[in-house]
């Protein structure tokens, strides 16, 4: 989900995310490493950028020899397990194909591919059983030759009888068991929702006033100064009315509110066990979603904030309370941060760094976290992007079209691409050098090997990153 969904001024209601934020720190500028689930989740577990962990696309949508997780690098769960933590993982995995989470540090494997998950979930309705004739629903159809697919809908099936309720119960039971033991524990409740299709329960949906839902400023963005491919993708949703965009957003917000209730149930279990004071709680998403921003929905294509800027709130012992920070951190940074907080053996990589030092007093160390970096390699349609945030400036190197440059302070909706502005050419070159610097630091061999004549498309070349 996009970070803006859980901010105080959002139309979406997330009282339990707010509950964690009130007891801890909310990061307004946390970013995913790649706006697709498998690569982002692999970065979370390993602390590596996608070009180093090997998962460049959704793993189950490519051939078996592509988007394969490199297993020689340790995961943070292995470090915590070796330190004495009881570890449990429940729900969506989608990082690699074996689904043997035990090999990656998870002692209790409750992923959605296990027989235990399926047996406990007997009676849980699948997506095909959730909607009936007459329900609010919108399907994507056309052009000719494409399957009709569900975009969003509203169901009478309560969360308890759907996948989100199942994952919440499994994680809650693990927490209850773990709090009765002496060993420290770590639990991940991993939900597929609110991914496509967006299916929300009617009870929660009706708590939202569809006509009162605000629409993004950039909904009708013509994007004439952005890559042509963006305009091509934008056509997928060209026929959606403002009412349909509002229905989608209301259904999405309702689904997020249902997930927020599951978070609340888990928090209640921890509190009932008397362990809230010594438990670190992290609520986050792996990537964002457009929900009409720039005329897009879903995620993947487009290097805009709605896809990359993710919600992140952290509370726990030694962590400041009721603090908001605009420090720039990555989903990959959570790997060394969790290890740091647990006092486990570090995982050293230039791709990420711990921000544990920021948590006791975010304002004191804020200036040490002023840059962030992400990648994109396309999904089915292969292309290359690298994204660099430097303070309030954002630069997108597009290996398939013109680059992008935005001043997020003056233009938070990213409506004006400044990459071709003559006055901004020094900044374009400076930030392209910054991209090359990340490429050198993290050994992005494919990008660094573009000295060959047809590939010399950047404003400055790879060697500029050696002195930036």
pLDDT, residue 121, reads 66
pLDDT band at 122 (very low <50, low <70, confident <90, very high): low
Note whether 186 and 335 are same-domain residues: yes
Phi, psi of 327 (to 5 degrees): -60, 140
Tell me which H or E stretch contains 79. Answer: helix 76-83
Note whether 334 and 439 are same-domain residues: no
Q: What distance in Å separates the CA atoms of residue 256 and residue 250, rounded to the nearest whole number?
A: 10
Note whether 88 and 117 are same-domain residues: yes
Note whether 315 and 444 are same-domain residues: no
Helix axes 76-83, 37-46, angle to 10 degrees: 40
Q: Are 336 and 44 in contact (CB under 8 A)?
A: no
CATH number at residue 403: 3.30.1120.10
What total number of domains does the chain contain? Answer: 2
Note whether 288 and 363 are same-domain residues: yes
Of 304, 333, 367, which residue is a domain's last? 367
**What is the model's pTM?**
0.95
Q: Are 327 and 366 in contact (CB under 8 A)?
A: yes
- Work out the end-to-end distance of the chain between its first and last CA atoms, rounded to an integer number of angstroms: 34
pLDDT, residue 126, reads 76
Q: What distance in Å separates the CA atoms of residue 47 and residue 33, rounded to the nearest whole number?
A: 10
Cα 43-2-128 angle, rounded to 5 deg:
90
Say if residue 142's pLDDT is above 90.
Answer: no
Say if residue 468's pLDDT is above 50.
Answer: no
In the chain, % of residues over pLDDT 90: 89
Say if residue 14's pLDDT is above 50.
Answer: yes
Is residue 440 in a domain? yes
**185-223 b/e with 16+ CB inside 10 Å = b?**
bbbbbbbebbbbbbbbbeebbeebeeeebeebebbebeb
pLDDT, one tens digit per residue, over 310-341 is 999 999 999 999 999 999 999 999 999 999 99
Say if residue 115's pLDDT is above 80.
Answer: no
Closest alpha carbon to 438 in 365, 347, 330? 330
Of 367, 388, 421, which residue is a domain's last? 367
pLDDT, one tens digit per residue, over 359-411 is 999 999 999 999 999 999 998 888 999 999 999 999 999 999 999 999 999 99
pLDDT, residue 124, reads 74
pLDDT, residue 467, reads 66
Is residue 144 in a domain? no
Q: Got the DSSP string for 185-243?
A: EEEEEE--TTSSSEEEEHHHHTTS-GGG----TTTT---TTS-HHHHHHHGGGTT--HH
Note whether 300 and 384 are same-domain residues: no
Of 335, 367, 399, which residue is a domain's last? 367
* Mean predicted lDDT score pLDDT of the chain: 94
Residues 223-229 have a mean pLDDT of: 95
Is residue 246 in a domain? no
Note whether 315 and 188 are same-domain residues: yes
Query: What would the two tokens of residue 401 be?
Result: 């079209």
CA torsion, ordered 338, 343, 345, 349, to nearest 10 deg? 40
Could you list the residue range(s) of the whole structural domain that residue 387 is in?
380-466
Note whether 440 and 298 are same-domain residues: no
Count of all residues that appear for the chain in the document: 468
Tell me which H or E stretch contains 438. Answer: helix 425-441
In the chain, % of residues over pLDDT 70: 99
């Amino acid at each position: 989900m996009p970070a803006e969904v859980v901010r105080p001024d959002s139309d979406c209601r997330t009282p339990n995310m707010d509950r964690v934020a009130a007891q801890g720190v909310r990061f307004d500028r946390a970013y995913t490493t790649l706006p697709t689930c498998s690569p982002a989740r692999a970065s979370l577990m390993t602390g590596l950028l996608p070009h180093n962990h090997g998962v460049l696309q959704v793993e189950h949508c490519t051939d078996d020899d592509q988007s394969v997780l490199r297993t020689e690098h340790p995961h943070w769960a292995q470090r915590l397990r070796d330190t004495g933590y009881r570890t449990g993982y429940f729900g969506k995995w989608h990082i690699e194909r074996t689904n043997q989470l035990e090999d990656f540090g998870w002692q209790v494997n409750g992923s959605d591919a296990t027989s235990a998950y399926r047996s406990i979930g007997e009676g849980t309705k699948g997506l095909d059983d959730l909607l009936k004739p007459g329900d609010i629903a919108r399907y994507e159809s056309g052009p000719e030759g494409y399957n009709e697919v569900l975009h969003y809908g509203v169901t009478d099936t309560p969360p308890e009888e759907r996948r989100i309720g199942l994952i919440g119960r499994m994680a809650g039971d693990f927490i209850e068991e773990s709090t009765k033991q002496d060993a420290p524990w770590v639990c991940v409740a991993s939900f597929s929702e609110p991914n496509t299709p967006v299916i929300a329960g009617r009870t929660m949906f009706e708590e939202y006033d569809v006509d009162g839902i605000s629409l993004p400023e950039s909904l009708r963005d013509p994007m004439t100064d952005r890559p042509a491919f963006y305009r091509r993708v934008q056509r997928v949703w060209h026929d959606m009315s403002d009412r349909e965009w509002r229905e989608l957003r209301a259904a999405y917000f309702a689904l997020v509110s249902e997930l927020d209730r599951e978070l609340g149930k888990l928090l209640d279990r921890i509190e009932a066990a008397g362990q809230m004071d010594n438990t670190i709680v992290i609520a986050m998403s792996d990537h964002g979603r457009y929900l009409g921003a720039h005329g897009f929905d879903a995620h993947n294509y487009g290097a805009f904030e709605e896809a990359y800027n993710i919600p992140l709130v952290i509370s726990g012992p030694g962590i400041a309370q009721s603090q908001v920070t605009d420090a720039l951190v990555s989903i990959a940074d959570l790997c060394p941060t969790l290890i740091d907080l647990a006092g486990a053996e570090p995982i050293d990589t230039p791709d990420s760094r711990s921000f544990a030092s920021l948590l006791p007093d975010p304002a004191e160390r804020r200036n040490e976290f002023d840059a962030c970096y992400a990648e994109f390699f396309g999904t089915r349609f292969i292309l290359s992007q690298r994204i660099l945030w430097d303070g309030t400036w954002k630069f997108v190197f597009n290996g398939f079209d013109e680059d992008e440059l935005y001043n997020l302070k003056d233009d938070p909706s990213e409506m004006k691409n400044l990459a071709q502005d003559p006055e901004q050419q020094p900044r374009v070159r400076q930030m392209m050098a910054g991209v090359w610097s990340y490429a050198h630091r993290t050994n992005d061999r494919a990008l660094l090997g573009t000295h060959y004549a047809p590939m010399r498309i950047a404003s400055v070349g790879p060697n500029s990153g050696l002195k930036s």
